[in-house]
């Protein structure tokens, strides 16, 4: 079976990939099979550039016949010109908590009416095959930013992100619904179609 190694130290993310790629013919592994995910400086100016940095860093340590996949993702808010974007995890500063990032976002959108709160979660995957060829896959979940956080499930910006067609936040909808709508799920499904073709 072909080995697909996820360039991430996040066990939850590896589980998510594994679930989405079940029966794809690939054995999904974490970066632990390469001794762990090396430290990388994500200094790209796009999600794709940062995903590529991580994938290349792990590829240098991986078995030559392995496939490598990495992702970079974040929240884009139209009223903020696409911010926080690639800075989503550190929007309120280096080492900021989810709560700090969330509070900064709500503060910046305080004056914005509901009609001006369009946003999306975006994910870009970088897939490197054993020959070194690179492919990118994009997934986006459209929605809007609520006035206040709601729900206890999820993390990051989930409590304020209400996906299109729903009235509840990602943190209220729960994992089973979120996993069908999520930006990462959509990007992984696009990649899966490519892997199987």
Give the catalytic positions in this structure: 72
CA-to-CA distance for 46 and 56, rounded, in angstroms?
A: 16
Sheet containing strand 2-6, strands side by side: 26-30, 2-6, 67-77, 118-128, 134-145, 161-163
| C-alpha–C-alpha distance, residues 48 and 52, integer Å | 6
Tell me how far apart the terminal alpha carbons of the chain are, to the nearest angstrom.
16
Give the DSSP H/E element, type plus range, for residue 79: none
- Strand pairing category for 118-128 and 134-145: antiparallel
Rg of the chain over all Cα atoms, to the nearest angstrom: 17
Please name the residues in contact with 116: beta carbons below 8 A apart, sequence gap of 6 or more.
78, 79
């Amino acid at each position: 079976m072909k080995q697909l190694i996820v360039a991430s130290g996040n066990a939850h993310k590896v589980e998510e990939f594994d679930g989405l790629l079940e029966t794809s013919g690939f054995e999904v592994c974490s970066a632990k099979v390469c001794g762990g995910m090396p430290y990388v400086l994500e200094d790209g100016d796009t999600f794709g550039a940062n995903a590529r940095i991580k994938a290349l860093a792990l590829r240098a340590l991986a078995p030559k016949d392995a496939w490598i996949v990495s992702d970079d993702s974040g929240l884009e808010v139209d009223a903020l010109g696409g911010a926080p974007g690639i800075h989503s995890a550190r929007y309120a500063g280096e080492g900021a908590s989810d709560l700090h990032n969330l509070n900064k976002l709500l503060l910046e959108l305080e004056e914005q009416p509901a009609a001006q709160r369009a946003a999306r979660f975006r994910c870009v995957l970088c897939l490197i095959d054993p020959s070194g060829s690179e492919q990118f896959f994009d997934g986006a979940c459209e929605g809007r930013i609520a006035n206040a956080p709601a729900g206890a499930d999820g993390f990051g910006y989930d409590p304020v992100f209400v996906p299109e067609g729903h009235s509840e936040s990602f943190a209220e909808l729960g994992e089973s619904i979120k996993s069908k709508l999520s930006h990462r799920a959509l990007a992984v499904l696009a990649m899966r179609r490519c892997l199987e073709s």
